[in-house]
Structure 1
């Protein structure tokens, strides 16, 4: 009985700590990264993640108290969805921002 008395709270603390350290991206952040990916130049020689970083962090004002930092994991996730699109879908999405966002939000 004493083992359960200490084991259960310890397991609860470990589960809470694991949940705390797992990144949780809001739907707003995901939509923002999709919009940024759809707005950048897909024919550029610069990698997509670098272009996204430039747009996201480049929008920060020098005097801003809270600067938006690029989240590489979220950026890679959105880019991976882009790369899963077929070539013709990518071509159409690169021309039509709304279609691009619809395809990537699936």
Structure 2
């Protein structure tokens, strides 16, 4: 993995913070419906980091698939940078809270 690719993956991971926060808010909403949300600060940190790693991995995979399919940069940013990671994060949080 060269330096440019590593930089791109890091930027995608940083960009995944917003969908991750949206997914956690959705998880908090689901927790109000009977699911158990982490209470202790350490548990919340582990829960957030595991969600962020999953969302980042999905975002990187979606970017790779979008570039293979030949999508333009704006579509990649919209689909692979926000929509796919947000839904994947919400599903991940929902699954973890069951």
What band does the TM-score fall into relative to the shorter chain? Answer: under 0.3
With normalisation by structure 2, the TM-score equals 0.27
Q: Which structure would you say has the larger RCO, counting Cα contacts within 8 Å and 6 or more residues apart?
A: 2
Q: Which has the higher helix share?
A: 2
With normalisation by structure 1, the TM-score equals 0.26
